[in-house]
Amino acid sequence: KQEVTQIPAALSVPEGENLVLNCSFTDSAIYNLQWFRQDPGKGLTSLLLIQSSQREQTSGRLNASLDKSSGRSTLYIAASQPGDSATYLCALNSGNTPLVFGKGTRLSVIA
């Protein structure tokens, strides 16, 4: 059974810092990996989707990487801003089954 782990559970950084969020998974037989952002009291917003054949995806200040062989993905946020404060979740898609989610990393960017 696929298990997804996100460490740390919470992270606090000063504004302007570059940071990396981590996601590890136990089963490398995946179709894709998706990173989401969740603001308090809101639903999840899809940030990036990396297909299993890809190594990374970029959107603005965000860069997500995928290393299936080591069961790891990272979300890199450049030049962090207070508006980046949110919970970031990763989720694995193993085919015709529902996504398996990590518990998320709660990020606080301090001005």
Count of residues of this chain found to bind another protein when the rule CB under 8 A is applied: 23
Distance CA 91, CA 34 (A): 5
CA distance 68 to 59: 21
Establish if 105 lies at the interface with another protein (CB under 8 A).
no
Least Cα distance to 74 among 1, 29, 16, 11 occurs for: 11
Can you tell me which of 104, 105, 107, 109 binds another protein, judged by CB under 8 A? 104
Which region among 18-26, 45-53, 55-63, 67-75 touches another protein (by CB under 8 A)? 45-53
Across 49-79, b (16+ Cβ under 10 Å) vs e yields: bbeeeeeebeeeebbbbbebeebbbbbebee
User: Restricting to residues 47-86, which ones interact with another protein according to CB under 8 A?
Assistant: 49, 51
Using the rule CB under 8 A, is 99 a contact of another protein?
Answer: yes
Interacting positions 13-32 with another protein (CB under 8 A):
31-32
Chain length of the chain: 111
Nearest approach, Cβ of residue 32 and another protein (Å)? 6
Are the C-beta atoms of residues 28 and 52 closer than 8 Å to each other?
A: no
Residues forming the site for another protein (CB under 8 A): 31-32, 34, 36, 41-46, 49, 51, 89, 91, 93, 95-96, 98-99, 101-104
